[in-house]
Structure 1
Amino acid sequence: MAQRFRISSRVAGALLTAAALCGTAACSADGPSDARSAASQRPDAATVAAVRRAVDKDAALNSLSYRVSGKVPGQGTVEGKASSSLRPRAVDMRMTASGGLKEGEFSVRLLGDAVYLGGGGQAAALLDGKHWLKLAMADAGADAFGGMQRQADQDPAAQASLLRRADDVRKVGEETVDGVRTTRYAGVVDVAELPEERGVAGPPAAGRRAKVIEQYQQLGVGKLHLDLWVGPGDRTVQFRERAKAAQGPLDVTIRILDRGKPVTVQAPPAADTMDLGRKLKERGRQGA
């Protein structure tokens, strides 16, 4: 059992890595020429104001539902859906990865301080027949299991809000996204310079952005290319993030599906869940 558990922990870590990367629209490819074509143009006041209105509205929301799709190094093509709320903190994410090192379907649920990773039959084959792995966010070493703390802290609204801090933000043009008429804006931000900027709005918004910036830095992102599609009512319809991360180029698009609705997340059945923290304590007491 000790050997089996060590193998399970390593594989679970790989599964968690897949979930963490897939959910991050936070990782995304460096240097698209279209993102730099107007870099020398100073943003006009109307463009800056339009972007500010859109990102500020979303930053004030407590919950979002969205679809994520794109390519992530090591994971190949990823796609899925997620719903998240800030107060109380809850996340329900279901992802599929194909064509990469990690393949299959993954589910992530966050409830308070507990993170649950589900890998279906793949997980059951490794976790003594259980389909879910539970990990406490406060556990020392939580980040060793695929960066789940970063995963649980994903915040699409805060990620999109970084566009307002781009020096070259510009209006690209009018486009239709899933039947919705939108205005597309784009810009490039220097992640290394973001923490030094002052004058951000309100401590809560600033704190959320600080977490997002830290996530980018941990991924090795330098220049971050952002595109924002804004629809009726100054609401974000879609945004795309591209960057060169330490593991290679990433390109992820987030399509906002709903906003402001309650998010209900249920913990998986205890009988079908391996509590990693408890298991590690048991092994420690046994001297393994």
Structure 2
Amino acid sequence: MGMTAWKRAGVSLAAVVVVTGVAGCQDGDGAKKAAEAPAKPRLQTHEAVTKVIQAAYKKTSDAKSAKVRMTVTMPAAMDGGGTMEMTGVQGWNPGVMDITMKGSLMAAGDPDAPEQMRMIVLGDAMYMDMGAEKAAEMDGKRWMKLDQSKGGGLGQMNQDPAQQLALLLESPNLKHVGAEKVNGVETQHYKGTLSFEQMLDANKAKSATLSKKEREKLIANVEKIGMKGYDTDVWVDAAGYPVRMVVDMTTAVGTVQIKGDYTDYGPKATVQAPPAKDTYDLADMLKGIGMGPDALRAG
């Protein structure tokens, strides 16, 4: 499987949902009344919205895990585009995932890519089940390990909902859109936008690792592809948990979108690394043939 797929699947992003009103009715005598204007939803104040998202962040952060169904969609102008669906369990603090992936984004130009693949993430380490056929070529080792600490820029896979809520709180135009049912659950829909610079400033844990030169280069590259910012939508249920989160990034060549549906929050997710005897480290293997971390970054 090509490395480009993992870089593309790690991009975080959103969508906008329209809320409609209600129509008129008949009087008690059965005579028709003139059509009434659609009722406007009763929207919360900015102060109330902030309190809701803060409370949702606290509950989500404390839950530490949830079942997730996530869909990544990329426009055709980005390496052919496509979709990827990921289902499984996700945990945060610490960051872990155990998911199964399928979709056209997995191929990334590799005709031999499997129809679906299991992936495990434990902190900086990502393990991918390459299947029995690949295992036969690797002395029976079917799990490939990619370690962020050894380079490769692959550490953006685990975009947890608590982190996204924290970023949403930094939006200067955070607002309440209205009531909406999602997957059969009654929710309230909220929306906000961040520029790339605002997102980087808010996401201090990641931006702190960048030098001034790296930050400037990153921003320049983002501007080059015409990205304006992130639109983030969240649907919060009556218990205060996000049921759905969608992040949308519009670029000069189209929109990248990630939609995540979450259920069964907590307890702490139990995710284990594959047995060492069944695992080979890609970075170590490349190093053994004279190739370093740059080979991972280049894809």
Taking structure 2 as the reference length, what is the TM-score of the superposition?
Answer: 0.67
Match of 1:111 in 2: 122
Match of 1:223 among 221, 229, 235: 229
Q: Taking structure 1 as reference, are residues 116 and 194 closer, same or farther at Cα in structure 2, changes over 3 Å only?
A: closer
Alpha-carbon deviations, 1:125-172, whole Å to 9, x = none? 875764321133321xx21xxx32222x43232023322222222211
Identity %: 29
Answer with 1 or 2: which has the greater Rg. 2
Q: Taking structure 1 as reference, are residues 196 and 149 closer, same or farther at Cα in structure 2, changes over 3 Å only?
A: closer
* 1:96 correspondence with 2:102: yes
Taking structure 1 as the reference length, what is the TM-score of the superposition?
Answer: 0.70
Q: Taking structure 1 as reference, are residues 173 and 88 closer, same or farther at Cα in structure 2, changes over 3 Å only?
A: closer
User: Hey, what's the Cα distance between the residues in 2 that align with 1:111 and 1:236?
Assistant: 23
Match of 1:138 in 2: 149
User: Hey, what's the Cα distance between the residues in 2 that align with 1:84 and 1:76?
Assistant: 23
User: Hey, what's the Cα distance between the residues in 1 that align with 2:259 and 2:164?
Assistant: 12
Match of 2:184 among 179, 185, 189: 179
Q: How does 1:193-272 map to 2 (within 5 A)?
A: 193-196=198-201, 207=205, 220=222, 221-245=227-251, 248-272=254-278
Alpha-carbon deviations, 1:147-203, whole Å to 9, x = none? 32222x432320233222222222111111111100111121222124556xxxxxx
Once the two structures are TM-superposed, the CA of residue 62 in structure 1 deviates from its matched residue by 2.2
User: Hey, what's the Cα distance between the residues in 2 that align with 1:61 and 1:171?
Assistant: 24
Moved >6 Å (runs of 4+): 32-35, 208-211, 216-219
Larger helix share, 1 or 2:
1
Once the two structures are TM-superposed, the CA of residue 65 in structure 1 deviates from its matched residue by 2.4
Root-mean-square deviation over aligned CA pairs: 3.7
- Which consecutive unaligned segments of at least 5 residues does structure 1 have? 1-10, 36-40, 198-204
- Which consecutive unaligned segments of at least 5 residues does structure 2 have? 20-42, 210-214, 292-299
User: Hey, what's the Cα distance between the residues in 1 that align with 2:64 and 2:70?
Assistant: 19
Q: Is the 8 A contact 1:63 1:260 kept in 2?
A: yes
More moved, 222-231 vs 255-264:
255-264
Alpha-carbon deviations, 1:237-260, whole Å to 9, x = none? 111111125874212211112222
Match of 1:49 in 2: 51
Match of 1:161 among 159, 166, 174: 166
Alpha-carbon deviations, 1:237-284, whole Å to 9, x = none? 111111125874212211112222232223334444322233234334
